[in-house]
Structure 1
Amino acid sequence: MRSRGFLRALLLHILLRHVLAQGIRSIFLFKDVMKSNTTALRTSGFNTLIMFGVGVLGNGSIMYYSNTPGSKDVLVASGGAYVGGDALAAKVRSFKTGNDTGVNRLEISMNAQNIRNLMASPGPGADTPLYRNFAALREAWTLDAVNNDDESIYDVASTVAFAKMLARVGYKYTIAPYTNINFWRNVKNQVNSGLGAAEWILDRVYLQCYDGGASNDPAGWQNNLGMKVVPLVWVINDSKPSFGTSAAQARTRFAAWNQRSALAGGGYWNDYDIEKMGLSYRDYGSVLTSLFP
């Protein structure tokens, strides 16, 4: 009996460390998608793309902000309708369509500006401009989730209300923390309260392990949050070169973290620097496909 129990425990340990990883292979898209190498993004091993630079205006309209020279900010949803143009919608939808793509999840990343005020008035109801605009954008872009990159406001009540509103629209909700673990734990626990793990609204954590989050320990965050995380490293760049990570260095870091405590996957910040620095999407992507198949 003892040997049988020991064997069960050993098998469970192996399962938890090596099988339960979700195989998330992500990259944040900082570059305007109308100008980026979307073919490489679709075919280099990534299965999750997070479009950075979406923001909510005070009236509940939604902007796609340009982070690329020669591009302009675009109003993409207003008055409960998609208004971002057919070309942009077709480009975004193309990430998940066609036989050559490996992408099966598409997210938009935003900060928390105006969310607290909008949750207070007019609120998170289905008849509000904010709700209707997110519904229109989800349909136009075939979105799966909204990512919260709040780095300044940290208001639990409005964050939870907004996440639950998005769930009613049909989105999953993800976070990209670099600090303030107590805030994020409270948000995760309240958003997912009463739900089984398979039904969680807040289902992914993209943990910044560069710049202000350079000292973050994925295992510590996993233990504190009670869920697996996806650590992010910054690719080679000329903005803050000291935080730049080559594909080989990324492999070493992800492998060490995963060996210590099995991860949900891995990811990168960001596509703009890969293209600007003449780096290889395939090199970075192959690191993830080998470690998180």
Structure 2
Amino acid sequence: MRTFLSVIFLAAFSLFSFAQQPYAPAAALPAKNLAMFGRGLYPGNDTTYHLLKRSGFNTILLSSFYIHADGDLYSGDSHQPIIHQGKWVGDAGYVKRVKDLKTKSSISRIEILLEGRWYGQPPNTFDFIRDWYDPAKAVPGIVTGTGKESTLYNIIKVLKEVLGADAICIDDESVYHSPSIIAMGKIAADLNMHMTLCPFKRNNYWTEILEASDNNLVDALYLQCYDGGVRNEIKDWVQGLKPAQPIYPIFMVRGSFSTCDTHKGSKSVAEISKQLRGFKKDYPGMSGAAIWQMEDLNSFVKLGCAIKQPSSGTAKSVAEFLSQLKKALKKEL
């Protein structure tokens, strides 16, 4: 009898202990994280994906994806739905390339960037998340709430199951409704995924999300240091948010907006290195950085920026550009 009771007690204790363990999904961030935002990768080609696998970058943020009013998810690269009526309808070659990214590769993590603007007009992705996360609301054609049958849950579930996504990245630049994003984090947690944040302003909004979320669920922030965030200083965000998570600055390369010149904070490799060095001085704990975006690396080479404007950089191939960026980031980190 004592033996039987002991077994019951130990089993109950084990279940209780398991329930108390912190949330810890797979695909944790590497100690030194080099991330590449992937606009221009859908559906992509084998050559570009092969370059990424050998690039030395660790995280690929597939971008950009937008939720539409009918519950479909669209790719910003093709302006076509990849999820329609709750099912994957996107390019099969893309799925194969994405799933192969981690094979014999430096890449260990794949994130999905959810963007808010569809050519600037409202409503957008985060309007719909705000309007649908509450199960008490009735929206024609949409299953509201964040339960397993909901439209929002299904979108993330399909991305997890079809693409093997490890995290969703929140790039909200217009709605700023923290309760709905906190709810999205709970969807990610239920699917054993992470959620990351991609701010450029509104410190208080991101603080609300961090304070309401497990530190292992929301495990990183990508700080925009270009365009609207061109004046961002990483020390201000570290001091303002005081996050347990790492903050990674995002740099935009020359070649963006189809110009070799500086535009909206775009930088050469040398300029990125210099700014990163200053950030590291202000934030000694900085353990990674990100580049926006793969499409612009291709644009830099296609434009012939190394010849037309040598001050913009010297890369004459995408492979060379990736190598230069990797070396510059690793050197300063």
Normalising TM by the smaller chain, what interval? 0.7 to 0.9
Between the aligned partners of 2:67 and 2:73, the Cα distance in structure 1 is 5
Give the letter aligned to residue 65 of structure 1. Answer: G
Q: How do 1:177-256 residues align onto structure 2 when only pairs under 5 Å count?
A: 177-192=199-214, 197=215, 200-227=216-243, 228-239=246-257, 241-242=262-263, 243-256=265-278
> What SS does structure 2 have at the residue aligned with 1:114?
helix
TM-score under structure 2 length normalisation: 0.73
SS in 2 for 1:179: coil
Aligned-partner Cα distance in 2 for 1:113–1:27: 27
Alignment check: 8 A CA contact 2:65 2:74 kept: yes
Tell me whether 1:55 sits opposite 2:66 in the alignment. yes
- Work out the CA distance in 1 between the residues paired with 2:282 and 2:292: 23
- Percent identity, aligned pairs only, is 23
User: 1:50 corresponds to which letter in structure 2?
Assistant: L
Deviation at 1:30, TM superposition (A): 1.4
Aligned to 1:116: 130
Change (3 A) 1:62 1:212: same
Query: What is the CA-CA distance between 1:86 and the residue it aligns to?
Result: 2.2
Letter of the 2:231 partner, please give it: S
Contact preservation (8 Å) 2:256, 2:299 = no
- Whether the aligned pair in 1 keeps the contact of 2:68 and 2:74 (CA below 8 Å) is yes
Alignment gaps of 5+ in structure 1: 1-20, 67-71
2:300 is aligned with 1:277: yes
What is the one-letter code of the residue matched to 1:60? Answer: G
Q: Which residue identity is paired with 1:93?
A: K
Report matched runs for 1:33-72 at 5 Å: 33-35=42-44, 37-66=48-77, 72=78
Whether the 8 Å CA contact 2:169–2:197 is kept in 1: the answer is yes
Stretches of 4+ moved more than 6 A in 1?
Answer: none
2:37 matched to which residue of 1? Answer: 28
Q: List gaps (5 residues or longer) in structure 2.
A: 1-29, 117-125, 138-143, 302-314, 316-320
Tell me the SS of whatever aligns to 2:101. Answer: helix
Structure 2 CA distance for aligned equivalents of residues 60 and 164 of structure 1: 19
Deviation at residue 247 of structure 1 after TM alignment: 1.3
- Residue 268 of structure 1 is matched in structure 2 by 291
Kept after mapping to 2: 8 A contact 1:173/1:202: yes
**What SS does the corresponding residue of 1:232 show, helix, strand or coil?**
strand
RMSD, matched Cα: 2.0
Alignment of 1:122-161 (within 5 A): 122-161=144-183
Residue 172 (structure 1) aligned with residue 189 (structure 2): no
Provide the rounded CA distance (Å) in 2 between the counterparts of 1:224 and 1:58: 35
CA contact (8 A) 1:28 1:50 kept: yes
Counting only pairs closer than 5 Å after superposition, residues 75-94 of structure 1 correspond to structure 2 as 75-94=81-100
State the alpha-carbon separation in 2 of the partners of residues 75 and 171 from structure 1: 23
8 Å CA contact 1:235, 1:245 repeated in 2: yes
SS at 1:25 equivalent: strand
The structure, 1 or 2, with the larger RCO (C-alpha pairs under 8 Å, 6+ apart) is: 1
Matched residue pairs, number? 260
Q: Which moved more, 1:52-61 or 1:150-159?
A: 52-61
TM-score using structure 1 length = 0.82
